[in-house]
Amino acid sequence: MRSSLKLLALAYLGLVAALPEPSPSVDYNAFKGDDLITRDVCVIGGGSGGTYAATRLRQLGQSVIVVEKEPIMGGHTNTYTVPSSGLTIDYGVVVFHNISVVRDYFAHFNVELGPASFAAPTASFSVDFRTGKIDQGFIAPDPSAALQAWVGQLSKYPFLATGINLPDPVPADLLLPFAEFGYADLINQPTLYAMKLLSINLVQTLETGYVATAAHDNHLIYDAATAEFTAADSLLLSSYAISVERGCNPDGSSNIVVQTPKGKKLIKAKKIVVAIPPRISNFQGWDLDSEEINVFSTYRNEAYYTGLITNTGLPDGYDIANIGSNTPFNIPALPGMYGFSATAQPGLVDVKYASPFEQDDKTVQRNILQALGRLQIPNVTTTPSKVQWAAFNAHVPFFEHVTTEQIQGGFYKRANALQGHRKVWYTGAAWEAQDSSMIWNFTESLLPAIVHG
């Protein structure tokens, strides 16, 4: 529960991005043979939302092409394989809700699910990472009573179950800073975002238990999707759109020019699903109109980093959580770490770092090692100078959001009006929550409109 709360505790600053350049002049007639692709739907992004959308659209009889900028699918789902043992460690997306959307999705790819399990710590410490000192007086609160009260509040806003569909006027409670509303881990973010992340579904899952792959390799579903899409000529990896002109063909379809490792390709698609973060810099080369520019230039985002390290000097099984000894509700100071956590592999330590603004990887890694060096754990001498990085991933952008005033001013009404606008639909965390299971559930709600659009 505590780590779920902290995922949204990345507060204050957003990014100011330049407006995208207009689409360059393109000779569409120059694309022939394998460089010309015709599909019902082009899905931009092969992360959580994009892979799910493409899978379900194919099941519903739509021809699909997925364009993913990375060399692998999966987005924030990161899995590390220990070279010496073959053991797999999930260090990005680690659990899923036990709901039908999740079960059906994994069943399609014949990936077995089971109860989520975690390495049991042999010792746990609450430390203020600013000083490295253990807070001997800290007692983790029992969330049981708070969860019951929270469910009572959530039940007042059933329109938040799927997507961010707000009435006008927006209920005042949803605009309150979360701490002022009565719960304490998101501090100054509007309560709306807490209710999206800490949904009734999540609370129910906390009670019944999360699921994960039985093989402890959550990337299996993306490996299976990659194989399925590749066999169907429906996947372009290490590729990105450089020009998008919508409705430009006589049949109303759009032209998407994509840069691939084998050169440029032209995709003619009747519909587009955008499953990448909707910040303005991601729309370079698009023929955006004023409504789209208004929405995409408004989002702010934070940053989240995850990795695995060895040679720390920490004994196996030690779990060290970052708290603020003198901060409201003991929230850790950010930018900073959430903690060092044991994994199923002896000597391999999971690290999590959050920041209200983006930082380069080297800065984050340096800050993590400095935090390790400050730890004052009895009979432990940490060795930050000897640390080896087994894995590291930047989940950037993370937690797209807007201000209270923008919510009150109808931002989400304008954003939701873009669904289906110019034959484009949008999915991902910005439209739901930073939660793969809920992103899939939200994407499911879009499918009828996409298929019949």
* Domain stop point among 385, 400, 415: 400
Mean pLDDT across 92-108: 97
On whether both 290 and 410 belong to a single domain, the answer is yes
Q: What are the pLDDT digits (tens) for 57-82? A: 999 999 999 999 999 999 999 999 99
Question: Does residue 22 lie within any of the structural domains?
Answer: no
On whether both 176 and 267 belong to a single domain, the answer is no
On whether both 236 and 361 belong to a single domain, the answer is no
* Domain stop point among 400, 419, 435: 400
Question: Rg (Cα) of the chain, in Å, rounded?
Answer: 22
Question: Does residue 311 lie within any of the structural domains?
Answer: yes
Structure tokens at 404: 């209270």
Question: Does residue 3 lie within any of the structural domains?
Answer: no
On whether both 306 and 162 belong to a single domain, the answer is yes
The distance from CA 315 to its chain's CA centroid, rounded to whole angstroms, is: 31
On whether both 133 and 258 belong to a single domain, the answer is no
Instruction: In whole angstroms, give the CA distance from residue 106 to residue 121.
Output: 29
Q: How many angstroms separate the Cα of 147 from the Cα of each of 141, 169, 174, 182, 202?
A: 12, 27, 17, 12, 11
Residue-level pLDDT at 22: 52
Listed range (174-188, 303-317, 352-366) with the worst mean pLDDT: 174-188
Residue-level pLDDT at 448: 98
Q: How many residues does the chain have?
A: 453
Instruction: In whole angstroms, give the CA distance from residue 130 to residue 109.
Output: 45
Residue-level pLDDT at 6: 36
On whether both 176 and 281 belong to a single domain, the answer is no
On whether both 153 and 198 belong to a single domain, the answer is yes
Structure tokens at 407: 């919510």
Mean pLDDT across 306-311: 98
On whether both 223 and 202 belong to a single domain, the answer is no
- Nearest Cα to Cα of residue 193 among 3, 431, 451, 418: 431
On whether both 188 and 198 belong to a single domain, the answer is yes
For 24, other C-beta atoms within 10 Å of its C-beta total 9
Between 154 and 239, name the one with better pLDDT.
239
Residue-level pLDDT at 5: 36
Residue 20 has pLDDT above 70, yes or no: no
On whether both 277 and 336 belong to a single domain, the answer is no
* Domain stop point among 400, 415, 430: 400
Residue 172 has pLDDT above 50, yes or no: yes
- Residue 332 banded pLDDT, cuts 50, 70, 90: confident
Structure tokens at 405: 């005033």
Most confident of 13-27, 145-159, 376-390: 376-390
Mean pLDDT across 243-261: 98
Triad 413, 417, 421: Cα angle to 5°: 165
Residue-level pLDDT at 143: 75
Mean pLDDT across 163-174: 91
CATH number at residue 161: 3.90.660
Q: What is the dihedral of CA 157, 158, 161, 165, to 10 degrees?
A: -70
Question: Does residue 11 lie within any of the structural domains?
Answer: no
Question: Does residue 203 lie within any of the structural domains?
Answer: yes
Residue-level pLDDT at 327: 80
Question: Does residue 57 lie within any of the structural domains?
Answer: yes
- Residue 19 banded pLDDT, cuts 50, 70, 90: low
Residue-level pLDDT at 2: 37
Residue-level pLDDT at 70: 98
Listed range (23-32, 119-128, 405-414) with the worst mean pLDDT: 23-32
Residue-level pLDDT at 81: 98
Residue 401 has pLDDT above 80, yes or no: yes
Find the domain containing 439 and state its range. Answer: 32-77+217-299+402-452
CATH number at residue 223: 3.50.50.60
Instruction: Return the axis-axis angle of helices 144-154 and 200-208, rounded to nearest 10°.
Output: 150
Are the C-beta atoms of residues 382 and 372 closer than 8 Å to each other?
A: yes
On whether both 150 and 240 belong to a single domain, the answer is no
For the chain, what is the domain count? Answer: 2
Instruction: In whole angstroms, give the CA distance from residue 226 to residue 50.
Output: 12
- Residue 21 banded pLDDT, cuts 50, 70, 90: low
Residue-level pLDDT at 139: 82
Are the C-beta atoms of residues 190 and 407 closer than 8 Å to each other?
A: yes
Q: How many angstroms separate the Cα of 276 from the Cα of each of 64, 200, 378, 387?
A: 16, 26, 45, 33
The whole-chain average pLDDT of the chain stands at 91
Residue 285 has pLDDT above 80, yes or no: yes
Percent of the chain with pLDDT over 70: 92
Are the C-beta atoms of residues 214 and 69 closer than 8 Å to each other?
A: no
On whether both 69 and 200 belong to a single domain, the answer is no
Q: What 3-state class would DSSP assign to 413? A: helix
Listed range (173-177, 243-247, 333-337) with the worst mean pLDDT: 173-177
Instruction: In whole angstroms, give the CA distance from residue 235 to residue 67.
Output: 6
Question: Does residue 94 lie within any of the structural domains?
Answer: no
Mean pLDDT across 298-324: 96
- Nearest Cα to Cα of residue 91 among 114, 74, 70: 74
Residue-level pLDDT at 403: 94
**Which strands sit side by side in the sheet containing 318-322, from one edge to the other?**
133-134, 123-128, 318-322, 336-342, 349-355, 300-310, 388-401
Position 346, amino acid = P
Q: What 3-state class would DSSP assign to 371? A: helix
Instruction: In whole angstroms, give the CA distance from residue 432 to residue 285.
Output: 26
Residue-level pLDDT at 187: 58
Question: Does residue 23 lie within any of the structural domains?
Answer: no
